[in-house]
Amino acid sequence: MNVAENLETIQTNIRQACERAGRSINEISIIAVTKYVSIDRAKQAIEAGVEHLGENRVEGMNEKYDEIGQDVQWHFIGTLQSRKVKEVIDQVSMIHSLDRKSLAKEIHKRSDRKVPCFVQVNVSGEESKHGLEPEDVIPFIETLRNYENIEVTGLMTMAPYIEDQEKLRSIFRELRTIQEEVEAKEWSHAPCKHLSMGMSNDYEIAIEEGATHVRIGSKLVGKEF
């Protein structure tokens, strides 16, 4: 496992996906998802040039943050229990898993600054996936306007782990359609210009379909200590 080599390969693939889609690579943030791996591996990623780390558990983020601190931007990408918000709120740059009002309320209450949040959407309709149903997204975001410490920076989805490229593409495309609808509302609390979508299995398609934040774990930092 050579993280620097992996990063180079991923950057090349991203550059090519951007060219196919007529986009600039500067629009894309690569989030290295370090939930499966050690602090040392996370440090290797930073040495290789990674500027964003993603964790899906509060304990995992706390542990790595203690060692690494503000050298990178931290992204919380997993299910977040309201009672644990206070344990990560001062560490996170962005939260990718806003999916209910009680969580929004807690983020607003615990933060002393505006926190960019992605609203998570269950586009694929899989039972196991968290997130709002597509038709609930706009009404939900509308209810967040009084939480001044929340800025809806964009939408996030997790695609199922499948090979069917066209199915994956249609999921990403649907998220983008909803994102554009929210953006068109021009709500000041919800600029909603970003799309957090694409993981190891599907980041190139996600970028072709408009992803601005890709969350890559196994293909970048590996899957085990």
Ligand X SMILES: *Cc1c(COP(=O)(O)O)cnc(C)c1O
- By CB under 6 A, name the binding residues for ligand X: 33, 35, 56, 77-78, 158, 199-201, 215-219
Min dist CB 52 to ligand X, Å, is 12
52: its two tokens: 């964003």
6 or 111: CB nearest ligand X: 6
Strands (E), the chain: 29-33, 52-55, 73-76, 92-98, 115-120, 150-156, 194-196, 213-216
Tell me the CA distances in angstroms from 179 to 106, 122, 158, 190, one per residue in order.
24, 13, 15, 10
Our CB check for ligand X shows the closer of 77 and 175 to be 77
Please, what is the minimum distance in Å from the beta carbon of residue 55 to ligand X?
Answer: 9
Minimum CB distance to ligand X, residue 167 (Å): 17
- Least distance CB 161 / ligand X (angstroms): 8
- Residue 110 and residue 84: Cα distance in Å, rounded? 10
| Closest to 194 (Cα-Cα) out of 61, 56, 98 | 98
Q: Is the Cβ of residue 23 or residue 215 nearer to ligand X in the bound state?
A: 215
Q: Which is nearer to ligand X, 109 or 223 (CB)?
A: 223
